[in-house]
Amino acid sequence: MIYLHDATLYTPAEKIEHGALICSGDTILAMGQAHDLPCPTDARSINMSGLSLVPGFIDLQINGAFGMDFTSDPNTIWRVGDRLTRFGVTSFLPTIISSPAETIRHAQAVLQEGPPSGYHGARAIGLHIEGPYLNPEKSGAHDPSYLRLPDPKEYQQWNRKTNISMVTLAPELPGAIEAIQTLSRNGVAVSAGHSQASFTQAEEGFRAGIRYGTHLFNAMPALDHHQPGLVGALLEDTRLIAGMIVDGIHVHPAMANLAWKILRADRTSLVTDAIAALGMEARTYQLAGRKVVVDGSSARLEDGRLAGSVFSLDQALRNLMAFTNCSLQEALLTVTQVPARLLSIDTSIGTLTVGNKADFVLLSPDLKVAGVWINGQAIVAEGE
């Protein structure tokens, strides 16, 4: 049993100054103010004075890091997960972009086999399959040769039990509505992205079961006051959550602030869309076999198109606060409770709640990651 005390705790409902948290095994047993929650006699006491104790971060879209690309080699998922903790990430969706069916099956098998013995890294909570059912006109960094129409023989086998948690597709494609309905019934979170959908087509997709938008503003038509399109539909429908890459490059800070004023904390999900260059020096990398040039702040194909990002989820949290002037309490929801709610796993992770997993991050006063706990165990990321 562990007793963490004198930290500032951020729960779904409140900010607890001079707080204390008790965990046993992998579960949170109790929380409250330290003077009301004394240390159990059989607990190890750890002073967290000056730090904020917050839920572990969840990244719903990450393509790789530390020189490794999940689509090129799904076997790297655990090696990357072992090091993501340095950014406060305790759970993530390894993202497989448009690729042959064999690549997706390979990634499913990697998750089915599970992490290697002794693994103490971030928890892979299913795959995010971004593509191949995308609109070729909005392929972005995806290889157009791998794009295809929704195939029932393929997607009918995609569900939580087969380790697929999210699928991004273009709702206007022939057969997409049937795919959305099937995937939703299978418990998969369906997202609209890389799409030319009109406002009406987007609404039809929402009615069929879409509940998320992949990287708002990117790989979709610009917002137009006559033809609001997918962007307008995502912003307008209060059932939808929108993913956003707030690196200051994919979305201008002013547009991020404008979207925030509409979506607020309960409908915003920050993602990195990070590629193999995350945590590495500026040079050339691979994204699903395509050459990506990294200049230190952005990642682009040779023709200049953006190809994912090179920033981390803890930086996304700090950026959101700088761009919108929101509070830490609000910003935290976008990397914890909101993604957990989207995946219907908020009763196990995503919040500091009694009974939930003891996954949490310690933040310094300048909101840098000072420590990470997963399943009640202190984690030291490789290389730190």
Q: What is the CATH number of the domain that holds 258?
A: 3.20.20.140
Residues 21 and 101 in one domain: no
Assign 380 a pLDDT band (cuts: 50, 70, 90): low
- 68 phi/psi in degrees, rounded to 5: -115, 140
- Among residues 286, 268, 197, the alpha carbon closest in space to that of 233 is found at 197
User: Are residues 161 and 184 part of one domain?
Assistant: yes
Give the span between the Cα atoms of 215 and 200, in whole angstroms. Answer: 20
Q: CA-CA distance, 364 to 71, in Å (whole number)?
A: 34
Place of tokens 């569900």: 159
> Is the domain of 207 the same as that of 292?
yes
Distances (CA, A) of 121 to 78, 167, 378: 8, 24, 10
Cα dihedral across residues 375, 315, 97, 103: positive or negative: negative
In a domain, 207, yes or no: yes
Please tell me the distance from the alpha carbon of residue 24 to that of residue 375, in angstroms, as a whole number: 9
Report the pLDDT value the prediction gives residue 281, as an integer from 0 to 100.
Answer: 95
Span 322-359, pLDDT tens digits: 999 999 999 999 999 999 999 999 999 999 999 999 99
Residue 320 lies in a domain: yes
**For the chain, how big is the Rg over CA atoms in Å?**
20
Question: Number of folded domains in the chain?
Answer: 2
Residue 384 lies in a domain: no
Residues 38 and 62 in one domain: no
Confidence of residue 267 (pLDDT cuts 50, 70, 90): very high
Active site residue 303: no
Question: Does residue 63 share a domain with residue 29?
Answer: no
pLDDT tens per residue, range 23-56: 999 999 999 999 999 999 999 999 999 999 999 9
Is 155 in the same domain as 17?
no
Banded model confidence at residue 12, pLDDT cuts 50, 70, 90: confident
Residues 255 and 228 sit within 8 Å (Cβ to Cβ): no
Shared-domain flag, residues 151 and 278: yes
Q: Is residue 144 part of a domain?
A: yes
Which residue among the candidates 273, 314, 346, 359 is catalytic per the annotation? 273
Q: Look at residue 348 and tell me if it is in a domain.
A: no
- Three-state DSSP class for residue 213: strand
Residue 262 lies in a domain: yes
Tell me if 372 is assigned to some domain: yes
Do 155 and 195 fall into the same domain?
Answer: yes
Nearest CA to 70 out of 88, 92, 90, 87 is that of: 92
Do 111 and 207 share a domain, yes or no? yes
Q: Report which secondary-structure segment, H or E, holds 241.
A: strand 241-244
230 is a domain residue = yes
Is 280 in the same domain as 188? yes
Backbone angles phi, psi at 18, to 5 degrees: 50, 50
Total residue count of the chain as it appears in this document: 384
Burial of 46 (0-12, 13-18, 19+ CB in 10 A): middle
Q: Give the pLDDT of residue 153.
A: 97
Clarify whether residues 175 and 309 are in a common domain.
yes
Question: Alpha-carbon distance 127 to 60, whole Å?
Answer: 9
Domain range enclosing 140: 55-342
Which residues 6+ apart lie within 8 Å of 366 measured at CB? none
Do 19 and 47 fall into the same domain? yes
Residues 6 or more apart whose CB falls under 8 angstroms from that of 37 comprise 20, 22, 30, 31
CATH, residue 372? 2.30.40.10
SS3 of 12, please? Answer: coil
Nearest to 268 by CA among 188, 187, 326, 307: 326
* pTM for this prediction: 0.96
State how far Cα 197 lies from the chain centre: 23
